Amino acid sequence: MNTPSSLEALIEALRCLPGVGPKSAQRMAYHLLQNDRAGAGRLADAMQRALVALRHCQRCNTLTEAEICSRCLSNRRDASQLCVVETPIDMNMMEQTHAYSGLYYVLMGRVSPLDGIGPGELHLDRLLARASDGVVREVIIATNFTNEGEATAHYLSEMLKSRGVSVSRIARGVPVGGELEYVDAGTLAQAFRERRPFAR
């Protein structure tokens, strides 16, 4: 091949992006070099700046530029509730509901034995310390309803309950606007088992 080495290095480096294989990496590299050199320069800068500036919040473990993130420092949040999510994206999703005003703990992952991620790799001792600070009254587990997310939720609830912390799990069921005809049987079975009495 006659591909220059700096171009080959860029194509190879682009493959660190999730979902980008050799073909897309090639297309991205040529697109940037042909049509958007300014954008490529900004991207390289932004990436280096983010790598230097961002670290984990000492309280909630999300990515932040400060020692403790602004949400954890806010006095408008209810510090007695602690919601555990897998990723900062999940935390943003929860925030967009405007249904929750407590604090968060971001696991930055999930228990996934197949990927070699056990409870130790997630540093759950930090969550335990956070939940045992004397202010938190309820830990709400909002990990995904995948196999790994459910296993993580189960492990966390056992760990927290054994320390006397009150633990809950967000509800499973038929999605709002969902039609029974198009909901999978597993979800429907759970929705049936976890049915709730009508409020009077």
Q: Using the rule CB under 8 A, which residue among 30, 121, 133, 135 binds a second copy?
A: 30
User: Exposed, middle or buried, 87 (CB in 10 Å: 0-12/13-18/19+)?
Assistant: middle
Taking contact as CB under 8 A, which single stretch among the options 60-68, 140-148, 163-171, 186-194 is the one that binds a second copy? 60-68
Residue 122: name the closest of 83, 101, 82, 149 by CA: 149
Q: Using the rule CB under 8 A, which residue among 21, 43, 133, 175 binds a second copy?
A: 43
Q: What's the closest the beta carbon of residue 186 comes to a second copy, in angstroms? A: 26
Q: Confirm or reject binding of residue 47 to a second copy (CB under 8 A).
A: yes
- Residues 6 or more apart whose CB falls under 8 angstroms from that of 119 comprise 111, 155, 159
| C-alpha separations of 7 from 23, 28, 72, 147, 181 in Å | 14, 11, 43, 41, 51
Q: Using the rule CB under 8 A, which residue among 21, 22, 67, 70 binds a second copy?
A: 70
Q: Confirm or reject binding of residue 28 to a second copy (CB under 8 A).
A: yes
Q: Confirm or reject binding of residue 67 to a second copy (CB under 8 A).
A: no
**Which residue's entry shows tokens 């297309």?**
27
Q: Using the rule CB under 8 A, which residue among 22, 37, 119, 192 binds a second copy?
A: 37
Residue 54: name the closest of 64, 44, 62, 69 by CA: 64
Residue 105 has a CB neighbour count (10 Å cut-off) of: 25
Sign of CA pseudo-dihedral 83, 89, 92, 96: negative
Q: What's the closest the beta carbon of residue 48 comes to a second copy, in angstroms? A: 5
Taking contact as CB under 8 A, which single stretch among the options 35-43, 137-145, 149-157, 170-178 is the one that binds a second copy? 35-43
Q: Confirm or reject binding of residue 21 to a second copy (CB under 8 A).
A: no
Q: Confirm or reject binding of residue 92 to a second copy (CB under 8 A).
A: yes
Q: Using the rule CB under 8 A, which residue among 45, 121, 158, 194 binds a second copy?
A: 45
Is 37 within 8 Å of 44 (Cβ atoms)?
Answer: no
Largest Cα–Cα separation, the chain: 75
Contact residues for a second copy (CB under 8 A)?
1-7, 9-10, 12-14, 16-19, 24, 26-34, 36-37, 39-51, 53-54, 63-65, 69-71, 87-89, 92, 95, 108-109
